[in-house]
Amino acid sequence: MKPPLVETVEVLGPATLRIRWGTGEVLPVDLAATISRFLSLAPLRDPNVFRQASVGLWGHSVRWNDEVDLGADDLYQQSKVQAGEPSPEQFDAWMRLHSLSLTTAAEALGLSRRMVAHYRTGSRPIPKTVWLACKGWEALRLAA
């Protein structure tokens, strides 16, 4: 699945954006941790530079200047995780924690093996209902 395109971007604070996605979703994303982690993003620590955020070429990124931009795929994933939706890494960790294969995870959740593979690789977003099913399955297993 292709990540959605950035339609509009608005600066909310020193390291926070509000992005309207091609899906119609409008999600905030706090980039403070990302900016502090990568030296290449150091210019974004300057509020005057950060305020220059704009939609990149064809909506595939958010750009600040000719040297600093962030891809739509990473931004979308970060915004979804910050909105409370699980990441593929969290789903994979849940499977590993419980020693579940694609097949056994699919059986536990009442899903197809193919859909579990999509969630695990990030090629499809993980619905909150699926993540809640993971947590419910875990709780039932621990209670038994």
Higher pLDDT, 84 or 31: 31
Return contacts of 27-30, CB within 8 angstroms, 24+ apart. Answer: 27/79, 27/80, 27/82, 27/83, 28/79, 28/82, 29/75, 29/78, 29/79, 29/82, 30/82
Could you read off the pLDDT of 113-140 as tens digits, one per residue? 999 999 998 888 888 899 999 999 999 9
CA distance 79 to 106: 26
pLDDT score, position 142: 86
Q: Which domains does the chain have, with CATH numbers?
A: 6-82 (3.30.2020.10), 88-143 (1.10.260.40)
pLDDT score, position 1: 57
pLDDT score, position 123: 81
pTM of the predicted model as reported, rounded to 2 decimal places:
0.72
pLDDT score, position 122: 82
The share of the chain scoring above pLDDT 70, in percent, equals: 99
